[in-house]
Amino acid sequence: MPQMTMVQAIQDALRVALREDPRVVVLGEDVGKNGGVFRVTEGLQAEFGAERVSDTPLAENGIVGGAIGMALYGLRPVAEIQFVDFVYPAFDQIVSELAKLRWRSAGQYSCPVVVRAPYGGGIRGGLYHSQSPEAYFCHTAGLTVVIPSTPADAKGLLLSALAGEDPVIFLEPKRLYRTIKEEVPEGRTAVPLAKARVAREGTDCAVICYGAMVPVALEAAGAAEQRGWSVEVLDLRTLLPLDSAALLASVRKCGRVVILHEAPRTCGYGAELAALIAEQALTDLQAPVLRVTGYDTPFPYTLEHSYLPDPPRVLRAVEHVMSY
């Protein structure tokens, strides 16, 4: 199998989908000739033409609104938002139209749109290019919310998203775009949606995470092992619908839990996970559930390294629950 970065794996998934299904189209700002701001779509317009890989005006509401119309008429659009921070002008289209079309039409219409967007910090993008708004979308019934953490998962999850009939918000951790390289299957491959992955087996403490925080958790787990603690790392992969069975299995096995994400703490996705654990596995816990998150501030530029959770912060949380 070839070695790929996440950028290459996502591009490969799009190429496979475009080749195999004439209904698949890609649209967004600069996705054509320039290949996107991160070059994820580089070369696709040259191979498939401007009608299938289309540059759009700088208007996110138009990109998503246009994709909705395309989907209702039988296409399978992949709408790229350059940075997820720019998605807010399209928020009404996503939550009021895209997410609700199957429901409001009593199942007569599906809307198979995949909205791709790089998310999160780690590249010194400052407050307008580093946000993690996944909780907004997880609050919206009708959407599937996916965040990969490895190149192979990125390809397999994207192809699974494109094969479905419902809208998917596909958030890509841009700090991992080129920092991880691994073997990725050639051709069509699939990673099931709504299925978590145990990234590291453990028995003493479970770290629940996703996206760019998975490598952070793995590094912290390695440091914890030096202290004699066995830390399990659960990569959720799909946030909505959540693989609650896998989550609760890790909680019940370990009895101690640290939830990790880079989004702000208040009303972050980790709060939902903590509530679910309290409701369904409280008596299995040996310590309170701890959250390691970003802070309740706009994302900083010069203090990015202080804002983002890092392995020492995760290790301190593990130490706290292990000593409770």
Give the tens place of pLDDT for each residue, 186-195.
Answer: 999 999 999 9
Residue 192 · residue 21 · CB < 8 Å:
no
Are the CB atoms for 146 and 195 separated by under 8 Å?
A: no
Instruction: Identify the CA nearest to 24 among candidates 6, 42, 46, 51.
Output: 51
Do residues 190 and 164 make contact, with C-beta atoms less than 8 angstroms apart?
Answer: no
**Is there a domain that residue 105 lies in?**
yes
Amino acid type, 29: E
Which segments in the chain show pLDDT lower than 50?
Answer: none
Together in a domain, 149 and 29? yes
pLDDT at 51: 96
- Asked whether residue 255 falls in the same domain as residue 106, the answer is no
Which helix (H) or strand (E) element contains residue 19?
A: helix 6-20
Two tokens at 273?
């996970």
From 137, 159, 183, the end of a domain falls on 183
Which pLDDT value is given to residue 259? 98
The answer to whether the Cα torsion of 197, 202, 203, 206 is positive or negative is negative
d(CA 77, CA 84): 17
pLDDT at 1: 85
Same domain, 129 and 8: yes
* CATH code: domain of residue 276: 3.40.50.920
In the sheet that holds 144-146, the strands lie side by side as 53-55, 24-28, 76-80, 114-119, 168-173, 144-146, 238-240
CB 75 within 8 A of CB 17: no
Domain of residue 149 covers 3-183
Instruction: State CA 243 to chain mean position distance.
Output: 14
Which residues have a Cβ under 8 Å from the Cβ of 310 and sit 6 or more positions away?
216
Last residue of a domain, one of 120, 153, 183: 183
Does 253 reside within a domain?
yes
What pLDDT does 171 receive? 98
State the DSSP code for 186: S
Residue of 129, 261, 305, 320 with catalytic role: 129
Number of domains in the chain: 2
Give yes or no: residues 245 and 150 share one domain: no
Q: Residue 51 is part of a domain; what is its CATH number?
A: 3.40.50.970
pLDDT score for 219: 98
Boundary residue ending a domain (159, 183, 207) = 183
Round to whole Å and give the CA distance between 189 and 260.
Answer: 29
* Known catalytic membership, residue 129: yes
